[in-house]
Amino acid sequence: MQYKKYGGTYAVRIDLNEEIMQSLKALCEQEDIHLAQVDAIGAANRAVIGVYDLEKQAYHREELSGFMEITSLAGNVTRMNGEAYLHLHGTLADQNHALHGGHIIEMTVGATCEMFVRTLPGEVTRARDQALGINLIAL
C-alpha cells in the first residue's frame, strides 16, 4: 500500500495480493482517521461478500475467485470500541462479465486498487442494535 494526502483526502494504492479491509484499517490506524467516506475501483482476485438476512441475523456468504474488476467499492470509516470501523459495499465483474455484489467481508487485490479516503471533521461512533443484529451509526 502507498498513500498520500491531498487536502483532506487520501489517495491510496493497494497492491497485488493485499487484502483491502486490512490495508484500509492499517491506514486508518497510521493516520488516526475517525470519520471518512471511501470510494475505490480496481481489480480483485478473491472476495468474500454477503447479503444480510434480517430474520436469521446472518449474512448469506459467497466466496469469489478469479480475475475480477472492482466496478464499485464504497462506504465509510467510523469508530467503535476505540478502533476504526469499516463498512464497505461493492460490486465485482468476473471474466464471464457476470456481476456479483454485497457487503464486503474480504477482498484481495488482483492487480491494483485505487481508493480515495475523504476525511470529515468529526467522529461518528457505532453501537450494537439488538433488534437488527448490526452495528448502527449514532448521529
Contacts with its own copies by CB under 8 A lie at 2-4, 6-7, 9, 11-13, 16, 35, 37, 39, 41-43, 45, 49-55, 60, 62, 67-72, 74-76, 87-91, 93-95, 97, 99-103, 110-112, 114, 116, 118, 120-122, 124, 132, 134, 136-139
Least separation in angstroms between residue 129's CB and its own copies is 8
Question: What is each CA distance from 68 to 49, 71, 80, 93, 138, in whole angstroms?
Answer: 13, 9, 31, 5, 35
Amino acid, res. 105: I
Residue closer to its own copies by CB (options 11, 29) is: 11
Which residue's entry shows cell 492499517? 26
Strand (E) or helix (H) holding 21: helix 20-31
By beta-carbon proximity to its own copies, the closer residue of 4 and 81 is 4
Nearest residue (CB) to its own copies, 22 versus 37: 37
- If the CB atoms of residues 13 and 25 are measured against its own copies, the closer one turns out to be 13
- Bridging pattern class, strands 134-138 and 36-53: unpaired
- Please give the C-alpha separations between residue 77 and each of 97, 104, 106, 139, in angstroms, as whole numbers: 30, 13, 16, 14
Task: Supply the minimum distance, in Å, between the C-beta of residue 81 and its own copies.
Answer: 18
